[in-house]
Amino acid sequence: MGPERYGRVRGYGVGVTPTQLSAVSRYTQDARQGSSTAEVCSLKAEMAQIKQSYETRIEEMSQSHRTDMEELKQSQELKIQSLQDQLDHISSFLQRFAPPVT
């Protein structure tokens, strides 16, 4: 292979200089960074989409819970009213047969 020569790089063929090798290295590094940047942007977009989906689902669940609680409240109020009516009916029935209080 002969003696070392200034400005040449062994193992890369004839005529390759350190400057050329450096330029290729910078190009591949920039390409990797560009690829990484694109991947980061893609992941950020995916995260934003997942976050939006999550927030939408949480809001739907919240609304469903509020609706269920309102229905339960109305059902309980109806049961209370029904029990109150039954109690009034029994009370009036018992008053008819109870001896007068003097």
Alpha-carbon radius of gyration of the chain: 42
pLDDT at 36: 77
Residue range 47-56, pLDDT digits in tens: 999 999 999 9
Q: How far is CA 27 from the centre of its chain?
A: 38
Lowest mean pLDDT among 19-23, 36-40, 97-101: 19-23
* pLDDT single digits (tens) 28-45: 766 666 677 888 889 999
Q: What is the pTM of this model?
A: 0.50
pLDDT-based confidence at residue 60 (cuts at 50, 70, 90)? very high
